[in-house]
Amino acid sequence: MNILFATAEVSPIAKTGGLGDVCGSLPKALAQLGHDVTIFMPYYRQAQEWFASNDIEPEEVLPATYVSWANWAVEARYLRTTLPGTEIPLILVGNDYYFHRPHIYSARFDGYDDGIERFTFFCRAVIRGCELLGIAPDVVHAHDWHTALLPVYLHSGLRGSDQFRNARSVYTIHNLNYQGIGGSNRFAGLGLHSRYWAPDAVEHYGDVNLMKGGIILADQVTTVSPTYAREIQSGEHGAGLDGILRSLSFKLHGILNGIDVDEWDPATDPHIRSNFDKGHLAGKRLCKRALLRELNLKHKARTPLVGFVSRLVDQKGIDLLIAALPHMLAAGAQAVILGSGEPRYENALQQIAARHPESCRVIIGFDSALAHSIYSSADMLLMPSIYEPCGLNQMYALRYGTVPVVRLTGGLADTVIPFDGTNLDAANGFGFFSANAADFYTATWLAMLNYRESKSWRRLQANGMAADFSWERSARQYEAVYDRARYS
């Protein structure tokens, strides 16, 4: 099958979260199943820097081309390379006005948020690129709000063109809470027939809502875990689209993300101080010592190191973390926190670190090497998420023998089996249900108690390290969804 991936992020080239990880690893698993995948992503400044620092020069494959829509035309450059470490074609869509910015998702230099315009351009450029490069996909796989317009464009007449005659669309929701919403005045800029300004297309209570259009008009819709697929059909987690998702549940599938088991392998990971595996955890202890030394924290026997790596936004339960962390430190834990995001959270966490210089470090920033080092060194990884479509951190942690303490929501409920005192044969972490700091603290306290029982702790670690989070099973489920899109 010819599969076209259109995405705002691809790891390791440009990523802010799980979307990048998935779009950097699922194509590999699909290629291994024998499919031809081509990926399109924006040629951000961050991508240019990544290629330059890796001595890769993407090749310009077309003369600069005008992409036109809605009485507007914008120049696009097309560069070709491959997904790093593979033969999978990766097409970079360049336009410096839209994509040469300090951050992947930053607003225009004057502060005006032109996100919808940037990604409308990207979607139109993907279509034009396919036409010019002779790419005729059987399946167009769009991801999150940024590329939600592709299923809409396919529906709105694109199938009349040679390149897209046989194309069907699959739309994946990685996070329902970012929908690509703008005022009604943005509709004209999408280049759609007025029929699409309707509640069964991109109009939602008087606003433009790109994700809604993608969900309604894609042939099949997926999201990134079975539990999240159920949760988003409820008022609590549906972010205003639960009614639509309920009515379209016949084409909604929850497929758990996998992880790139080559990149995330404690036995070979080049970012960590000492490699280790399930049978030999001595290396993990060396990693912990090395990280503590780097952070200028004392190594103390029987003292758990808790880790946290995340975007600092309310979704991730930072309010719970801020309330519970001082209690964990008072109970004897050490902590290392890596993240960036909302300044109020950055400040509050830094204040906790300043008050506990002997036991807590907070590093503000995005640092992939340090993230690997934390997964390998920490004893526990905290994820008190308010909602979590899938969550990859807990899977990385499990693979590195780091016991996750999580709120049992979304993909966390599908991957973490909480220890209840009796299920050592299966348990791999600790969990709690209600989003309150006291319950979170209780779960970490239980984890800390069990940490001192080295035999059962090793069992929890071993159960986690034995879990199979490779992409193969999920890739087969995607294959089945692609088939449904094509033949139903």
User: Which residues of this protein are in contact with ligand ADP, per CB under 6 A?
Assistant: 17-18, 21, 309-311, 338-340, 366-368, 371, 390-393
- Return the structure tokens found at 78: 């097309």
Identity of the residue, 201 or 397, whose beta carbon is nearer to ligand ADP in the bound complex: 397
Question: How many distinct helices (H) and strands (E) make up the chain?
Answer: 17, 19
Identity of the residue, 222 or 450, whose beta carbon is nearer to ligand ADP in the bound complex: 222
Cα–Cα distance, 44 to 104 (Å, whole number): 7
Residues 6+ apart with CB under 8 A from 395: 257, 259, 264, 415, 467, 469
What backbone phi and psi angles, to 5 degrees, belong to 360?
A: -135, 135
Identity of the residue, 217 or 475, whose beta carbon is nearer to ligand ADP in the bound complex: 475
* Residue 69 Cβ vs ligand ADP, minimum distance, rounded to whole Å: 30
Q: Give the CB-nearest residue to ligand ADP.
A: 18
* Residue 114 Cβ vs ligand ADP, minimum distance, rounded to whole Å: 23
* Residue 438 Cβ vs ligand ADP, minimum distance, rounded to whole Å: 24
Cα–Cα distance, 88 to 44 (Å, whole number): 19
* Residue 2 Cβ vs ligand ADP, minimum distance, rounded to whole Å: 28
Cα–Cα distance, 168 to 114 (Å, whole number): 28
* Residue 373 Cβ vs ligand ADP, minimum distance, rounded to whole Å: 10
Closest CA to 322 of 339, 304, 298: 339
* Residue 347 Cβ vs ligand ADP, minimum distance, rounded to whole Å: 16
Identity of the residue, 95 or 393, whose beta carbon is nearer to ligand ADP in the bound complex: 393
* Residue 19 Cβ vs ligand ADP, minimum distance, rounded to whole Å: 6
Give the start-end residues of each E strand in 47-202.
59-60, 65-69, 72-82, 89-94, 139-143, 168-173, 181-182
Estimate the crossing angle of helix 282-294 against helix 368-377, to 10 degrees: 130
Q: Are 379 and 405 in contact (CB under 8 A)?
A: no
Closest CA to 145 of 76, 202, 189: 202
- Return the structure tokens found at 27: 């194509």
End-to-end alpha carbon distance in the chain: 16
* Residue 435 Cβ vs ligand ADP, minimum distance, rounded to whole Å: 16
* Residue 383 Cβ vs ligand ADP, minimum distance, rounded to whole Å: 8
Identity of the residue, 130 or 390, whose beta carbon is nearer to ligand ADP in the bound complex: 390
Identity of the residue, 95 or 257, whose beta carbon is nearer to ligand ADP in the bound complex: 257
Identity of the residue, 15 or 204, whose beta carbon is nearer to ligand ADP in the bound complex: 15
Identity of the residue, 221 or 362, whose beta carbon is nearer to ligand ADP in the bound complex: 362
Residue 5 burial (10 A CB sphere; 0-12, 13-18, 19+): buried
Identity of the residue, 163 or 257, whose beta carbon is nearer to ligand ADP in the bound complex: 257
Return the C-alpha torsion angle 33, 35, 41, 43, nearest 10: 100
